[in-house]
Chain A
Amino acid sequence: MAAGVLFPKPHDQVLLALAGFGAAGILAGSFLNRAPNRLANGVATALWHAPPLEAGAAMAGLAALAALAFHPKDKPRSAMTFGAAMLILWGCLSGAGRLASLFALSDPSAARYSLGAAFWILMATALLALLDAAQRANLGLLARAGLIAALGAGFALTANSGAFADLSLAKEFASHRDIFFIELRRHIVLVASAVFFALAISAPLTALVLRRPSARGLVFSGLGILQTIPSIALFGLLMAPLTALSQQFPLLRAWGINGAGAAPAIIALTLYSLLPLTRGFFTGVSEVAADVKDAAAGMGFSARQTFLLVELPLAWPALVSGLRVVTIQAIGLAAVAALIGAGGLGAFVFQGIGQYALDLVLVGAIPIILQALAASFGFQMLLAARRGS
């Protein structure tokens, strides 16, 4: 009993762990790295050197998380966790931006300020706390979408006001701004076309393996072999035949299909998507209970009606999750496509690696991660919409 009073039991261990993680991050130092130029190593600056308002907000938010872990009621705890996380997010973003601006007043113009480990750890802490709160509050998907939109809008507004202008990540972004949106669009087009073609091929392939059990072994082992070829090798393998083809047929060249660029990338991404998609579709449809299909046939559903009215709706969750896996995989793999000149966000990543400019790598990597998260969330919405109807 006495021990229970002295050491109260936490009601949300996740929050406590997150608070500890964040605190360790702060103590580890390097909130912002200050370097005289793009290539030189920086000097780490800790959070407490940031302007007191922001540094205080971030630390207060972290302390609040730790305290909230002991709050007994889910609902109010979630609401307050949300507030604390926002405090941390704002403190970090604004703190880093203003600290960089302060340094910039006295530093030469070539100086660079890049975000350090403490910054990223605190951001991750805040986002995970938000996720935990959303889950505990049992927030609906629409509410989550609203929350994400509000966060995004808040960030965009702050960014637009120039609060981050002196951070090197923002500088890299600003100096690549025009090409950034072109590459972003390319990336999306690569992924969307690959998923589209994969869908167009997987659907009949699924129908085939469903109808012909004898074809199953061949189809799945064939696709399995494709899956095991490393991505760079596959991109490379496709270059030679496509080059040959485009030299043979001027029409292909006129369409922009040749050994390098988007064509081999889309083909490779499509090939990688075939196995997970076909397998997901196949298990989805074949796992629809036999007695239900039997009842449908026995009552006089035609094969088409059984498929459209019974098998498809019942397999829907499996179909969507197959599509989700494949889309997220393609978003990641498309980054590699930059190596064969297909462009996309991977271009920044490889360019950044080449120039040893970590911030440029981030200009490519962060949107890739965000895209994957967005795709995952979008497919979740799609599933929920279906369930609701």
Chain B
Amino acid sequence: MIELRGVSKAFGAAPAVVDLSLSIGRGAFFVLIGPSGCGKSTVLRMINAMIACDRGAIELRGEDIRAMDPVRLRRGIGYVIQSVGLFPHWTIEKNIGAVPRLLGWSRETLAARVEEIAALLQIDRELLRRYPHQLSGGQQQRAGVARALAADPDIVLMDEPFAALDPVSRASLQDEMRRLHAETGKTFVFVTHDMDEALRLATHIAVMKDGRLVQTAAPRDLLNRPEDEFVREFFGREAMGLRLLDFVAVRDRMRGRPRAPETIGADASLRDALALMIERRCSRLSVTDGGGGKISEIDIADIIKGQDAT
């Protein structure tokens, strides 16, 4: 869907992106992560032709972007900029409808779409009539995401879209994002600083440092086989093992007959199981299926010893 081949960009003498190659498949939830100033935003802006690369080539849907009209190209890509950038003189409703209006949607289609997308991102209907300055930072970010999704683009670029949200609404929007991604099969390119966010959302993670790509992998592989010390450090050395537990379900490690009084669902992660054991001060849990019936058991030793088969 999106191909970057040997892309470089320097601002004056300072290189921002160096010889970067990425292949982002259709339907990927591709997360770019790395320390501040490593060139993440620059990569996004090169994909929608806001910045021309100095060297290398970028292809979208199999077509070189230099051969495309940049304005048309951008209308076909959703883009959430890092600082949100809502139009201060337009209501939230009008902001969300900006691209559909450029594309000439009819009034009814547009109105219906705005309702739909607002509901999806949990934006109160009452907020739609307000102006951006009358919204909290988090509400503005949701509106920014809604605006990027409004015209139903098949590629969506998001630059730290949830940075201003509290952990609870952040988690709930992350769930929405994941659901939206699974349902629509859109290609998401998502920039973040937050490795938990990256691990929760991504199908692929690309770790960048000083404008270079350090490693691209599925989240679980990244945790299992970090390329180097930098990646290990970045994903929080000590916590890496704990984070790995997120990727394994209780179902995969349970065995034996249920005897313990405390229970946990089969689809919960090992991390949830461990947390429950610590909280309840026990070392074994009975595992229940969807109906609530106990089907098996999991022991703390099963969580700790069982190394991933892959």
> Secondary structure at chain B's binding surface: helix, strand, loop or mixed?
mixed
Tell me the residues in window 43-77 of chain B with beta carbons closer than 8 Å to chain A beta carbons.
Answer: 45, 48, 50, 71-77
- B117 lies within 8 A of chain A by Cβ: no
* Residues B102 and A291 in contact, CB atoms below 8 Å apart: no
CA distance A37 to B102 in the complex (A): 74
Task: Give which listed residue, A289, A299, A302, A314, contacts B98 with CB less than 8 A.
Answer: A299
B114 at the interface (CB under 8 A from A): no
The answer for the CA separation of A301 and B89 in the assembled complex, in Å, is 16
Flag whether A217 is at the interface (Cβ < 8 A): no
> Lowest 7 CB-CB distances: which A-B pairs, in order?
A295-B85, A300-B75, A300-B74, A291-B85, A291-B83, A298-B79, A302-B71
Asked whether any CB of chain B lies closer than 8 Å to the CB of A305, the reply is yes
Q: Which residue of B lies closest to A305 (CB)?
A: B102
Q: Mark A310-345, 1 if CB is under 8 A from B, else 0.
A: 100110000000000000000000000000000000
- Which residues on A sit within 8 Å (CB–CB) of B45? 298
Near B by CB (< 8 A), chain A positions 280-315 give 289, 291-292, 294-302, 305, 310, 313-314
Does B74 contact A297, Cβ atoms closer than 8 Å?
Answer: yes
Check if B86 sits within 8 Å of A299, measured CB to CB: no
Is B87 part of the binding interface, using a Cβ–Cβ cutoff of 8 Å?
A: yes
With A299-B98, A300-B102 in contact, do A292 and B88 touch (Cβ < 8 Å)? Answer: yes
- A299, B79: Cβ atoms closer than 8 Å: yes
Besides A292-B86, A301-B102, A310-B87, 18 other A-B contacts (C-beta < 8 A): A289-B88, A292-B88, A294-B50, A294-B85, A295-B79, A295-B81, A295-B84, A295-B85, A295-B86, A296-B85, A296-B87, A298-B74, A298-B79, A298-B81, A299-B79, A300-B72, A300-B102, A301-B71
Q: Which residues of A contact B86 (CB under 8 A)?
A: 292, 295
Interface centre among A300, A305, A314 (most CB of B within 10 A): A300
Check if A291 sits within 8 Å of B72, measured CB to CB. no
Q: A291-B81, A291-B84, A295-B81 are in contact. Are A314 and B147 (CB under 8 A)?
A: no
User: How distant is A260 from chain B, measured CB to nearest CB, in Å?
Assistant: 47
B99 interfacial contact with A, CB 8 Å: yes
Residue of A298, A305, A313 with highest tally of chain B CB at under 10 A: A298
Question: A298 to B72, alpha carbons, bound, how many Å?
Answer: 11
| B87 and A298 form a contact (CB under 8 A) | no
The residue on B at minimum CB distance from A297 is B50
Q: How far is the CA of A297 from the CA of B49 in the complex (A)?
A: 10
Within B240-295, the residues touching A (CB, 8 Å) are none
Are A298 and B50 touching (Cβ within 8 A)?
yes
Closest to A301 in B: B102
CB distance from B279 to the nearest CB of A (A): 44
CA distance A384 to B289 in the complex (A): 65
Q: How far is the CA of A295 from the CA of B159 in the complex (A)?
A: 12
Bound complex: CA of A378 vs CA of B168, how far in Å? 51
